[in-house]
Structure 1
Protein backbone atom coordinates (compact mmCIF):
# COMPACT_ATOMS: atom_id res chain seq x y z
CA UNK A 1 0.00 0.00 0.00
CA UNK A 2 1.34 3.39 -0.93
CA UNK A 3 1.43 5.83 1.96
CA UNK A 4 -0.72 8.90 1.77
CA UNK A 5 0.78 12.39 1.61
CA UNK A 6 2.13 13.80 4.82
CA UNK A 7 1.57 17.27 6.20
CA UNK A 8 4.33 19.74 6.92
CA UNK A 9 6.54 18.04 9.53
CA UNK A 10 8.23 21.24 10.71
CA UNK A 11 5.84 21.65 13.62
CA UNK A 12 6.66 23.34 16.91
CA UNK A 13 7.61 20.94 19.69
CA UNK A 14 5.04 20.51 22.42
CA UNK A 15 6.06 21.49 25.94
CA UNK A 16 7.06 18.56 28.17
CA UNK A 17 4.46 16.87 30.30
CA UNK A 18 4.32 18.02 33.92
CA UNK A 19 5.98 15.73 36.50
CA UNK A 20 3.76 12.90 37.69
CA UNK A 21 3.22 14.56 41.07
CA UNK A 22 1.79 17.61 39.31
CA UNK A 23 -0.36 15.42 37.07
CA UNK A 24 -1.73 13.66 40.15
CA UNK A 25 -2.74 16.98 41.68
CA UNK A 26 -4.44 17.95 38.43
CA UNK A 27 -6.55 14.77 38.47
CA UNK A 28 -7.45 15.36 42.11
CA UNK A 29 -8.36 18.98 41.39
CA UNK A 30 -10.70 17.83 38.63
CA UNK A 31 -12.26 15.13 40.80
CA UNK A 32 -11.16 12.27 38.56
CA UNK A 33 -10.18 10.25 41.63
CA UNK A 34 -13.78 10.33 42.85
CA UNK A 35 -15.02 9.19 39.44
CA UNK A 36 -12.54 6.31 39.61
CA UNK A 37 -13.59 5.38 43.14
CA UNK A 38 -10.19 5.96 44.74
CA UNK A 39 -8.87 8.47 47.25
CA UNK A 40 -6.74 11.47 46.45
CA UNK A 41 -3.94 9.90 48.49
CA UNK A 42 -4.05 6.79 46.31
CA UNK A 43 -3.53 8.91 43.20
CA UNK A 44 -0.68 10.82 44.82
CA UNK A 45 0.87 7.61 46.11
CA UNK A 46 0.81 5.94 42.70
CA UNK A 47 2.42 8.99 41.12
CA UNK A 48 5.14 9.08 43.79
CA UNK A 49 5.94 5.38 43.39
CA UNK A 50 5.99 5.62 39.60
CA UNK A 51 8.26 8.66 39.67
CA UNK A 52 10.59 6.89 42.09
CA UNK A 53 10.69 3.75 39.95
CA UNK A 54 11.62 5.89 36.95
CA UNK A 55 14.45 7.52 38.88
CA UNK A 56 12.63 10.82 38.72
CA UNK A 57 13.37 12.05 42.20
CA UNK A 58 14.89 15.36 41.22
CA UNK A 59 16.69 16.34 38.02
CA UNK A 60 15.13 15.49 34.72
CA UNK A 61 11.46 15.64 35.62
CA UNK A 62 9.47 17.18 32.81
CA UNK A 63 12.53 17.40 30.56
CA UNK A 64 12.55 14.01 28.93
CA UNK A 65 14.34 12.33 31.82
CA UNK A 66 12.75 10.65 34.81
CA UNK A 67 8.98 10.77 34.53
CA UNK A 68 8.98 13.64 32.01
CA UNK A 69 7.70 11.46 29.19
CA UNK A 70 4.97 9.66 31.12
CA UNK A 71 1.27 10.44 31.23
CA UNK A 72 -0.84 9.46 34.23
CA UNK A 73 -4.09 7.82 33.15
CA UNK A 74 -7.08 5.97 34.59
CA UNK A 75 -8.40 2.76 33.07
CA UNK A 76 -11.35 3.54 30.77
CA UNK A 77 -13.47 0.89 32.47
CA UNK A 78 -13.26 2.95 35.67
CA UNK A 79 -13.70 6.42 34.18
CA UNK A 80 -15.18 6.38 30.67
CA UNK A 81 -14.50 9.01 28.03
CA UNK A 82 -17.98 10.50 28.42
CA UNK A 83 -17.10 11.49 32.00
CA UNK A 84 -13.67 12.87 31.09
CA UNK A 85 -14.45 14.95 28.02
CA UNK A 86 -16.55 17.58 29.89
CA UNK A 87 -13.52 18.22 32.12
CA UNK A 88 -11.59 19.58 29.17
CA UNK A 89 -11.41 23.34 28.95
CA UNK A 90 -10.26 25.76 26.29
CA UNK A 91 -10.71 29.47 26.89
CA UNK A 92 -13.36 28.82 29.51
CA UNK A 93 -15.38 26.51 27.25
CA UNK A 94 -15.82 22.93 28.44
CA UNK A 95 -15.32 19.91 26.25
CA UNK A 96 -18.26 18.05 24.75
CA UNK A 97 -19.13 14.90 22.81
CA UNK A 98 -20.77 15.26 19.41
CA UNK A 99 -24.46 14.47 19.39
CA UNK A 100 -24.13 11.53 16.98
CA UNK A 101 -21.66 9.71 19.22
CA UNK A 102 -23.92 8.85 22.14
CA UNK A 103 -22.25 5.43 22.17
CA UNK A 104 -18.81 6.91 22.85
CA UNK A 105 -18.18 4.64 25.84
CA UNK A 106 -18.67 1.55 23.69
CA UNK A 107 -15.42 2.36 21.87
CA UNK A 108 -13.03 -0.01 23.64
CA UNK A 109 -9.32 -0.87 23.41
CA UNK A 110 -8.67 -2.78 20.19
CA UNK A 111 -5.64 -5.06 20.10
CA UNK A 112 -4.28 -3.29 23.18
CA UNK A 113 -3.78 -4.92 26.57
CA UNK A 114 -3.85 -2.43 29.40
CA UNK A 115 -1.55 -3.13 32.35
CA UNK A 116 -3.15 -4.53 35.46
CA UNK A 117 -2.14 -3.13 38.81
CA UNK A 118 -3.62 -2.93 42.27
CA UNK A 119 -5.68 0.09 41.22
CA UNK A 120 -7.09 1.83 38.15
CA UNK A 121 -4.05 4.00 37.42
CA UNK A 122 -1.33 3.37 34.86
CA UNK A 123 1.27 5.24 32.82
CA UNK A 124 1.24 6.05 29.11
CA UNK A 125 4.75 6.44 27.75
CA UNK A 126 5.94 9.31 25.55
CA UNK A 127 2.68 10.53 23.97
CA UNK A 128 3.05 11.83 20.43
CA UNK A 129 0.44 13.66 18.35
CA UNK A 130 1.54 12.16 15.06
CA UNK A 131 1.55 15.42 13.14
CA UNK A 132 3.61 13.84 10.37
CA UNK A 133 0.75 11.41 9.73
CA UNK A 134 -1.79 14.14 9.09
CA UNK A 135 -3.60 13.44 5.82
CA UNK A 136 -3.27 9.70 6.33
CA UNK A 137 -6.36 7.56 6.89
CA UNK A 138 -6.67 5.47 10.08
CA UNK A 139 -6.34 2.37 7.91
CA UNK A 140 -3.01 3.64 6.61
CA UNK A 141 -1.73 5.01 9.90
CA UNK A 142 -2.27 1.91 12.05
CA UNK A 143 0.39 -0.30 10.39
CA UNK A 144 2.74 2.67 10.14
CA UNK A 145 2.57 3.21 13.90
CA UNK A 146 3.17 -0.50 14.49
CA UNK A 147 6.22 -0.33 12.23
CA UNK A 148 7.58 2.48 14.39
CA UNK A 149 7.14 0.40 17.54
CA UNK A 150 4.35 2.62 18.78
CA UNK A 151 0.83 1.85 19.96
CA UNK A 152 -2.20 3.96 18.99
CA UNK A 153 -3.60 5.94 21.87
CA UNK A 154 -7.01 5.20 23.37
CA UNK A 155 -9.65 7.91 23.37
CA UNK A 156 -9.57 8.13 27.18
CA UNK A 157 -5.77 8.44 27.07
CA UNK A 158 -6.04 11.25 24.57
CA UNK A 159 -8.42 13.11 26.87
CA UNK A 160 -6.05 12.60 29.82
CA UNK A 161 -3.25 14.00 27.68
CA UNK A 162 -5.13 17.20 26.85
CA UNK A 163 -6.20 17.57 30.49
CA UNK A 164 -2.53 17.61 31.47
CA UNK A 165 -1.11 19.30 28.39
CA UNK A 166 -3.72 21.58 26.76
CA UNK A 167 -1.22 22.57 24.06
CA UNK A 168 -1.58 19.05 22.63
CA UNK A 169 -4.84 20.23 21.08
CA UNK A 170 -4.54 23.24 18.80
CA UNK A 171 -6.28 24.41 15.67
CA UNK A 172 -5.25 22.52 12.55
CA UNK A 173 -3.11 20.16 14.67
CA UNK A 174 -5.51 17.82 16.43
CA UNK A 175 -5.51 14.04 16.55
CA UNK A 176 -7.32 10.72 16.21
CA UNK A 177 -7.22 8.02 18.88
CA UNK A 178 -7.56 4.84 16.86
CA UNK A 179 -6.64 2.51 19.71
CA UNK A 180 -10.34 2.68 20.62
CA UNK A 181 -12.82 1.05 18.26
CA UNK A 182 -16.41 -0.13 18.36
CA UNK A 183 -17.04 -3.77 17.51
CA UNK A 184 -20.55 -4.40 16.18
CA UNK A 185 -22.75 -7.34 17.08
CA UNK A 186 -21.75 -9.19 13.90
CA UNK A 187 -18.05 -9.00 14.84
CA UNK A 188 -17.06 -6.29 12.35
CA UNK A 189 -15.84 -2.85 13.33
CA UNK A 190 -17.86 0.33 13.17
CA UNK A 191 -16.34 2.57 10.48
CA UNK A 192 -16.20 5.52 12.88
CA UNK A 193 -12.90 6.22 14.63
CA UNK A 194 -12.72 8.61 17.62
CA UNK A 195 -10.81 11.87 17.51
CA UNK A 196 -10.28 15.04 19.52
CA UNK A 197 -10.38 18.45 17.90
CA UNK A 198 -11.67 21.99 18.34
CA UNK A 199 -15.22 22.94 17.39
CA UNK A 200 -15.89 25.62 14.78
CA UNK A 201 -19.32 26.18 16.31
CA UNK A 202 -21.12 25.04 13.19
CA UNK A 203 -24.06 22.69 12.73
CA UNK A 204 -25.33 20.84 15.76
CA UNK A 205 -22.33 21.95 17.85
CA UNK A 206 -23.91 25.39 18.25
CA UNK A 207 -22.20 28.75 17.89
CA UNK A 208 -21.75 29.02 21.64
CA UNK A 209 -19.34 26.07 21.44
CA UNK A 210 -16.98 27.64 18.93
CA UNK A 211 -13.46 27.05 20.20
CA UNK A 212 -14.47 24.31 22.64
CA UNK A 213 -12.64 20.95 22.80
CA UNK A 214 -14.65 18.28 21.06
CA UNK A 215 -14.75 14.47 21.00
CA UNK A 216 -16.05 13.24 17.68
CA UNK A 217 -15.32 10.73 14.98
CA UNK A 218 -13.98 10.32 11.46
CA UNK A 219 -14.36 7.49 8.94
CA UNK A 220 -11.79 4.67 8.97
CA UNK A 221 -10.78 5.22 5.34
CA UNK A 222 -10.88 9.03 5.24
CA UNK A 223 -7.97 11.46 5.41
CA UNK A 224 -7.90 14.82 7.15
CA UNK A 225 -5.09 17.32 6.79
CA UNK A 226 -5.61 18.62 10.34
CA UNK A 227 -5.71 15.31 12.21
CA UNK A 228 -2.63 13.36 13.25
CA UNK A 229 -2.63 10.04 15.09
CA UNK A 230 -1.84 10.05 18.80
CA UNK A 231 0.38 7.18 19.94
CA UNK A 232 2.54 5.94 22.80
CA UNK A 233 5.65 3.84 23.31
CA UNK A 234 3.76 1.63 25.72
CA UNK A 235 1.89 1.36 29.00
CA UNK A 236 2.96 0.28 32.47
CA UNK A 237 1.22 -0.11 35.83
Structure 2
Protein backbone atom coordinates (compact mmCIF):
# COMPACT_ATOMS: atom_id res chain seq x y z
CA UNK A 1 0.00 0.00 0.00
CA UNK A 2 2.85 2.36 -0.82
CA UNK A 3 2.16 6.06 -1.18
CA UNK A 4 3.87 7.17 -4.40
CA UNK A 5 5.96 9.01 -5.26
CA UNK A 6 8.19 8.98 -2.21
CA UNK A 7 8.05 12.28 -0.30
CA UNK A 8 11.85 12.25 -0.34
CA UNK A 9 12.01 12.32 -4.15
CA UNK A 10 10.55 15.86 -4.20
CA UNK A 11 10.09 17.24 -0.71
CA UNK A 12 8.83 20.57 -2.01
CA UNK A 13 6.06 18.87 -3.97
CA UNK A 14 5.19 16.75 -0.94
CA UNK A 15 4.97 19.85 1.24
CA UNK A 16 2.68 21.48 -1.33
CA UNK A 17 0.51 18.34 -1.32
CA UNK A 18 0.14 18.51 2.44
CA UNK A 19 -0.82 22.19 2.26
CA UNK A 20 -3.47 21.40 -0.36
CA UNK A 21 -4.64 18.54 1.81
CA UNK A 22 -5.40 20.96 4.65
CA UNK A 23 -6.96 23.55 2.37
CA UNK A 24 -9.37 20.99 0.88
CA UNK A 25 -10.34 20.01 4.42
CA UNK A 26 -11.38 23.59 5.17
CA UNK A 27 -8.53 24.37 7.57
CA UNK A 28 -8.34 28.00 6.37
CA UNK A 29 -12.01 28.66 7.10
CA UNK A 30 -11.81 26.81 10.42
CA UNK A 31 -8.82 28.94 11.41
CA UNK A 32 -10.62 32.15 10.52
CA UNK A 33 -8.24 32.83 7.62
CA UNK A 34 -8.80 32.86 3.89
CA UNK A 35 -6.83 30.35 1.81
CA UNK A 36 -4.18 32.91 0.86
CA UNK A 37 -3.47 33.93 4.46
CA UNK A 38 -3.47 30.31 5.62
CA UNK A 39 -0.94 29.37 2.97
CA UNK A 40 1.16 32.38 4.00
CA UNK A 41 1.15 31.03 7.57
CA UNK A 42 2.69 27.72 6.54
CA UNK A 43 4.72 28.79 3.48
CA UNK A 44 7.94 29.57 5.44
CA UNK A 45 8.11 25.87 6.36
CA UNK A 46 8.58 24.75 2.76
CA UNK A 47 12.32 25.41 2.79
CA UNK A 48 12.62 23.39 6.00
CA UNK A 49 10.80 20.48 4.35
CA UNK A 50 13.23 20.52 1.44
CA UNK A 51 16.20 20.58 3.82
CA UNK A 52 14.79 17.66 5.79
CA UNK A 53 14.81 15.43 2.71
CA UNK A 54 18.57 15.04 3.14
CA UNK A 55 18.52 14.67 6.93
CA UNK A 56 19.76 11.35 8.36
CA UNK A 57 16.73 11.09 10.67
CA UNK A 58 14.21 10.98 7.83
CA UNK A 59 13.16 7.91 5.88
CA UNK A 60 10.06 6.71 4.06
CA UNK A 61 8.45 3.31 4.44
CA UNK A 62 4.70 3.66 4.71
CA UNK A 63 4.14 -0.05 5.25
CA UNK A 64 6.40 0.19 8.31
CA UNK A 65 4.82 3.46 9.42
CA UNK A 66 7.85 5.68 8.80
CA UNK A 67 7.18 9.16 7.38
CA UNK A 68 9.88 11.78 6.65
CA UNK A 69 7.87 14.84 7.68
CA UNK A 70 4.40 16.13 8.49
CA UNK A 71 2.93 19.61 8.32
CA UNK A 72 1.24 20.13 11.69
CA UNK A 73 -1.30 22.80 12.57
CA UNK A 74 -1.87 23.20 16.30
CA UNK A 75 -5.21 23.35 18.06
CA UNK A 76 -4.97 27.08 18.67
CA UNK A 77 -5.30 27.47 14.90
CA UNK A 78 -7.84 24.68 14.24
CA UNK A 79 -9.42 22.78 17.17
CA UNK A 80 -9.03 19.01 17.46
CA UNK A 81 -12.81 18.71 17.59
CA UNK A 82 -12.79 20.02 14.01
CA UNK A 83 -9.72 18.20 12.67
CA UNK A 84 -10.62 14.65 13.77
CA UNK A 85 -13.90 14.60 11.80
CA UNK A 86 -11.87 15.52 8.72
CA UNK A 87 -9.91 12.28 8.86
CA UNK A 88 -10.89 8.94 7.35
CA UNK A 89 -9.36 5.52 6.96
CA UNK A 90 -7.50 4.90 3.71
CA UNK A 91 -10.19 4.28 1.12
CA UNK A 92 -12.89 4.92 3.71
CA UNK A 93 -15.64 7.51 3.89
CA UNK A 94 -16.71 7.56 7.54
CA UNK A 95 -15.31 10.55 9.45
CA UNK A 96 -12.99 10.21 12.41
CA UNK A 97 -14.34 11.08 15.84
CA UNK A 98 -13.43 11.87 19.43
CA UNK A 99 -14.47 9.12 21.83
CA UNK A 100 -17.10 9.84 24.45
CA UNK A 101 -14.65 8.65 27.13
CA UNK A 102 -13.30 12.20 27.05
CA UNK A 103 -15.60 13.83 29.58
CA UNK A 104 -16.72 17.41 28.83
CA UNK A 105 -13.72 19.72 28.95
CA UNK A 106 -11.22 16.85 29.17
CA UNK A 107 -9.77 17.11 25.68
CA UNK A 108 -8.60 20.68 26.19
CA UNK A 109 -6.66 19.54 29.27
CA UNK A 110 -4.58 17.09 27.20
CA UNK A 111 -1.80 19.48 26.24
CA UNK A 112 1.72 19.07 24.88
CA UNK A 113 4.18 17.99 27.57
CA UNK A 114 7.16 20.17 28.42
CA UNK A 115 9.47 17.52 26.98
CA UNK A 116 7.97 17.92 23.49
CA UNK A 117 8.56 21.70 23.47
CA UNK A 118 5.54 21.85 21.15
CA UNK A 119 3.51 24.16 23.36
CA UNK A 120 2.98 27.55 21.74
CA UNK A 121 3.76 26.36 18.21
CA UNK A 122 1.04 27.20 15.68
CA UNK A 123 2.35 25.58 12.49
CA UNK A 124 5.51 23.50 12.17
CA UNK A 125 7.07 20.37 10.72
CA UNK A 126 7.38 17.09 12.58
CA UNK A 127 10.12 14.92 11.10
CA UNK A 128 11.47 11.39 11.32
CA UNK A 129 8.02 10.08 12.25
CA UNK A 130 7.50 6.47 13.31
CA UNK A 131 4.14 4.86 14.00
CA UNK A 132 5.83 2.79 16.70
CA UNK A 133 4.39 -0.66 16.07
CA UNK A 134 7.44 -2.22 17.74
CA UNK A 135 5.76 -1.17 20.99
CA UNK A 136 2.51 -3.03 20.32
CA UNK A 137 1.93 -5.13 23.44
CA UNK A 138 4.29 -3.02 25.55
CA UNK A 139 3.20 -1.13 28.66
CA UNK A 140 2.79 2.50 27.46
CA UNK A 141 4.91 4.02 30.22
CA UNK A 142 7.68 1.53 29.40
CA UNK A 143 7.45 2.43 25.71
CA UNK A 144 7.60 6.14 26.50
CA UNK A 145 10.72 5.66 28.60
CA UNK A 146 12.38 3.65 25.82
CA UNK A 147 11.64 6.37 23.27
CA UNK A 148 13.02 9.07 25.57
CA UNK A 149 16.15 6.97 26.00
CA UNK A 150 16.68 7.08 22.23
CA UNK A 151 16.52 10.88 22.23
CA UNK A 152 13.25 10.86 20.31
CA UNK A 153 10.06 12.77 21.04
CA UNK A 154 6.53 11.49 21.59
CA UNK A 155 3.73 12.63 19.31
CA UNK A 156 1.04 15.01 20.55
CA UNK A 157 -2.65 14.65 19.70
CA UNK A 158 -2.38 17.27 16.96
CA UNK A 159 0.57 15.41 15.46
CA UNK A 160 -1.29 12.12 15.49
CA UNK A 161 -4.18 13.77 13.69
CA UNK A 162 -1.72 15.23 11.17
CA UNK A 163 -0.27 11.76 10.56
CA UNK A 164 -3.59 10.20 9.58
CA UNK A 165 -4.71 13.34 7.74
CA UNK A 166 -1.71 13.36 5.41
CA UNK A 167 -1.11 9.59 5.37
CA UNK A 168 -4.36 7.76 6.17
CA UNK A 169 -2.62 4.55 5.07
CA UNK A 170 -0.60 4.73 8.30
CA UNK A 171 -3.61 3.77 10.43
CA UNK A 172 -4.23 0.06 9.99
CA UNK A 173 -5.66 -2.77 12.05
CA UNK A 174 -3.38 -4.00 14.84
CA UNK A 175 -0.87 -1.18 14.17
CA UNK A 176 -2.56 1.76 15.86
CA UNK A 177 -0.66 4.15 18.11
CA UNK A 178 -0.60 6.08 21.37
CA UNK A 179 0.23 9.78 21.57
CA UNK A 180 2.26 10.20 24.74
CA UNK A 181 3.26 13.77 23.89
CA UNK A 182 -0.11 15.05 25.13
CA UNK A 183 -1.03 14.47 28.77
CA UNK A 184 -3.43 15.95 31.30
CA UNK A 185 -1.67 15.15 34.56
CA UNK A 186 -3.21 11.74 35.24
CA UNK A 187 -2.55 8.18 34.05
CA UNK A 188 -4.37 8.51 30.73
CA UNK A 189 -2.46 8.40 27.43
CA UNK A 190 -4.26 9.54 24.25
CA UNK A 191 -4.31 7.17 21.29
CA UNK A 192 -5.78 6.83 17.81
CA UNK A 193 -7.21 3.52 16.69
CA UNK A 194 -9.93 2.12 14.44
CA UNK A 195 -13.53 1.86 15.63
CA UNK A 196 -16.75 1.57 13.64
CA UNK A 197 -14.70 1.65 10.41
CA UNK A 198 -13.31 5.10 11.21
CA UNK A 199 -10.38 6.68 13.08
CA UNK A 200 -11.12 7.24 16.76
CA UNK A 201 -9.28 9.46 19.22
CA UNK A 202 -9.50 7.91 22.66
CA UNK A 203 -7.21 7.14 25.56
CA UNK A 204 -5.77 4.18 27.44
CA UNK A 205 -4.17 3.81 30.86
CA UNK A 206 -0.39 4.28 31.02
CA UNK A 207 0.04 0.91 32.73
CA UNK A 208 -2.18 -1.17 30.45
CA UNK A 209 -0.61 -2.80 27.35
CA UNK A 210 -2.58 -3.58 24.19
CA UNK A 211 -1.35 -5.89 21.44
CA UNK A 212 -2.78 -3.60 18.75
CA UNK A 213 -1.48 -0.30 20.12
CA UNK A 214 2.08 0.99 19.73
CA UNK A 215 3.66 4.33 20.66
CA UNK A 216 4.29 6.96 17.97
CA UNK A 217 7.44 9.07 18.03
CA UNK A 218 9.52 11.44 15.93
CA UNK A 219 13.07 12.69 15.61
CA UNK A 220 12.05 16.30 16.25
CA UNK A 221 10.22 19.44 15.16
CA UNK A 222 11.17 22.31 12.87
CA UNK A 223 9.86 25.86 12.80
CA UNK A 224 10.66 28.42 10.08
CA UNK A 225 14.25 29.62 9.98
CA UNK A 226 14.81 33.08 11.44
CA UNK A 227 13.98 35.73 8.88
CA UNK A 228 11.98 33.34 6.70
The equivalent of 1:157 in structure 2 is: 159
Structure 1 residue 46, shift from structure 2 partner: 4.9
Please tell me whether residue 30 in structure 1 is matched to residue 30 in structure 2: no
Please tell me whether residue 107 in structure 1 is matched to residue 110 in structure 2: yes
Mapping of residues 55-204 of structure 1, within 5 Å: 55=50, 64=59, 69-90=68-89, 91-102=92-103, 103-111=106-114, 112-114=116-118, 120-182=122-184, 189-199=185-195
Please tell me whether residue 232 in structure 1 is matched to residue 228 in structure 2: no
Deviating runs (4+, > 4 A) in structure 1? 12-18
Distance change >3 Å, CA 92–CA 19, structure 1 → 2: same
**SS in structure 2 of the partner of residue 167 of structure 1:** helix
Aligned residues of 1:134 and 1:226 also touching (Cα < 8 A):
yes
**SS in structure 1 of the partner of residue 129 of structure 2:** coil
State the Cα RMSD in Å: 2.7
**Larger proportion of helix:** 2
In the superposition, the TM-score normalised over structure 1's length comes to 0.76
State which structure, 1 or 2, has the greater radius of gyration over its C-alpha atoms: 1
* Deviation readout 1:65-105 (Å, 9 max, x if unpaired): 9xx72210112233232221111113111111111213222
In the superposition, the TM-score normalised over structure 2's length comes to 0.79
Q: Which runs of 5+ in 2 are unaligned?
A: 8-12, 61-66, 224-228
